[in-house]
Structure 1
């Protein structure tokens, strides 16, 4: 606590209150009209799920709620039953498991918000080696039609949300229910770019901006190259080739070898094979 007080002084922060209360008790005491936070940040050890209800209640409408999860094994598909119990959805071990983890967290948030008569919309997300983190805007009404499932065929590699899945039916696996809507708000990310003073982070944010509005899930160049028994081309070249073939394509912030596209798995393989 003393370190926190010194940090406040060093950062010239004066209007600050420190508490050693239980987190949920503290948030509950700040869930009434006039005392809710403009920004609420939940950064626990492990899962943020126990704090979702009280955190949403403590965030004013149109305010921002940020949450961090460090239980990566649960979200990553190693403990499915635990994930179902904690987040209300089933994970899936794939090359895009980090994105599924993020969407499971968002799915948990939107389901709890819905029970409270509220809603959430993602602003920005990030995934790192030791944690996942989401930033959402809390709304006064639920946001419809953003919960669903992600489906992948473990044979042909086709993937997508359940509404637009066009692959095999015999060997498909699914993750969810989870958030299937957008995970980056273009205007919010653009504003972040404008305030970034770090070249490396600006490049990262630009990838987030470029993939906003792209379909859920992504491919990796290594994965596709392996399926066609070829070496992977440079990622930038692959993305350009997909665009030249008439498809939407972008890098993804989730993987240094990943790319998003609206092309089918067959079209992706054909484009890479022709290079």
Structure 2
């Protein structure tokens, strides 16, 4: 296998030579490389370094912290954690593929990281072995599979402890978001419809599913940050324990939704779901991320990250409200869509709050009720 070297963050990483890769629409097809590497996910990894660093300072300051990336491929994420987060005591990287293992070993040597352990094992077996056989507490579990998290989530929850950060990436948005609603019912036990608000639905289906798995172990999830961009959804969850707490989590946060006149709404019966209806992010954690952002100005996606974090921080003032799309509301009323800025201004003039959404360039999140959204849209009919 021919190798190339790329630089990402503070790491130099061997990857399979991209001259051997298939190209689609000017983008490398990562699944066709001998060892998986996706340059499109650099933003995901940059934000992960920021979020994990913030988490350690917020929840484990001055303590030994062990993190694991059980599906590492080239090892790029775990090696960056070691290089760019000073408070990481140990990072465990792993891949069941022997070629991936060989590249990880080379990358550990290339970067001179001493606190990174490399394994060539089944991801679930390794997580269980570390937690139950070696009796090590795992503070951070980062799962970034190719596709669904379903084969790994049960193990990840079972090995987590009070105070563990569980970071997950899911790329099966077509299933989670409702486009493939039959598969969604089979895999995630949820009834969905296909709508343009699929990013919101995908996140909330994912959170609800994980919450049910957590509750089966008498554990609780608290979303610190959850978002969807590009081709994936990403969540960072704080784990807690307790039978009563897990029951309260489900009673408080699991619910249903309906879709009427282009508007996504919570619903009590004859609805779609179940989905997570609670907050999808913690505002104080987001403020800490925003404060720490400047420490990572060296990363290639810094400008995008800065814009995203600031917009997301505003949006998450209404984290427990669904995001809405101006195009679907106006389409339902047979009205040409006005400027999103003008629409938000009109809501604010009526005494409501509204913010642009990171979920769509025509999206917003607001505390304005259904009838106000319809009424405001209609006011633009003659303009």
TM-score (norm 1): 0.87
The 8 Å contact of residues 100 and 175 in structure 1, kept in 2 or not, is answered as: no
Which residue pairs with 1:136 in the alignment?
237
| Alignment of structure 1 residues 151-170 onto 2, 5 Å | 151-153=258-260, 156-163=261-268
Counterpart for residue 122 of structure 2: 22
Cα distance in 2 for partners of 1:157, 1:130 equals: 23
Deviation at 1:65, TM superposition (A): 0.3
User: What secondary structure is seen at the aligned counterpart in 1 of 2:335?
Assistant: coil
- SS of the equivalent of 2:183 reads helix
How far does residue 47 in structure 1 lie from its aligned partner after superposition?
0.8
Tell whether 2:164 aligns with 1:55. no
1:44, 1:69 within 8 Å by CA — same for their partners in 2? yes
2:131 to 28, 31, 35: 31
1:90-239 correspondence to structure 2 within 5 Å: 90-141=191-242, 142=246, 143-144=249-250, 145-153=252-260, 156-163=261-268, 174-196=271-293, 197=297, 198-214=302-318, 215-239=320-344
1:229 CA drift (Å) = 3.2
User: Do the aligned residues in 2 keep the contact of 1:91 with 1:175 (CA within 8 Å)?
Assistant: yes
- Is the 1:40–1:58 contact (alpha carbons within 8 Å) kept by the matching residues of 2? no
Q: Do 2:262 and 2:328's aligned partners in 1 also have CA atoms closer than 8 Å?
A: no
Describe the shift of the 1:83–1:16 C-alpha distance in structure 2 as closer, same or farther (beyond 3 A): same
For structure 2, list consecutive stretches of 5 or more residues without a partner in the other structure.
1-100
State the distance in 1 between where 2:151 and 2:335 align: 46
Q: Is the 8 A contact 1:157 1:265 kept in 2?
A: no
Q: Note the residue ranges of structure 1 that are not aligned, 5 or more in a row.
A: 166-172
CA distance in 1: counterparts of 2:342 and 2:180, whole angstroms: 37
User: Which gives a bigger RCO, structure 1 or 2 (Cα 8 Å, sep 6+)?
Assistant: 1
Distance in 2 between the 1:78 and 1:274 partners?
32
Shift of 1:10: 4.8
RMSD across aligned positions (CA)? 2.2
Return the alpha-carbon distance in structure 1 between the equivalents of residues 379 and 111 of structure 2. 56
- C-alpha distance after superposition, 1:82-132 (max 9, x if no partner): 212322222321121111111111111100000001010111122123221
Q: Deviations over 1:132-190 (max 9, x none)?
A: 1111111113224111111223xx34431125x9xxxxxxx733111111111111111
In structure 1, what is the Cα distance between the partners aligned to 2:272 and 2:138?
A: 33
Q: Cα offset for 1:7?
A: 3.2
Cα deviation, 1:25-53, whole Å, max 9, x if unaligned, reads 11111234951311101111221012111
Summarize deviations over 1:193-217 as a string: whole Å, max 9, x none. 1222323322211222122242432
Do the aligned partners of 1:123 and 1:136 also contact (CA within 8 Å) in 2?
yes
**Separation in 2 of the partners of 1:131 and 1:200?**
16
> 1:248 deviation in Å?
2.4
TM-score between the two structures when normalised by the length of structure 2: 0.64
Question: Residues 6 and 216 of structure 1: is their aligned pair in 2 closer, same or farther, counting only changes over 3 Å?
Answer: farther
Give the aligned partner of residue 13 of structure 1.
Answer: 113
CA distance in 1, matches of 2:317, 2:266: 14
Q: Which one has a bigger Cα radius of gyration?
A: 2
Report if aligned partners of 1:90, 1:176 keep a CA contact under 8 Å in 2: yes
1:168 matched residue in structure 2: none
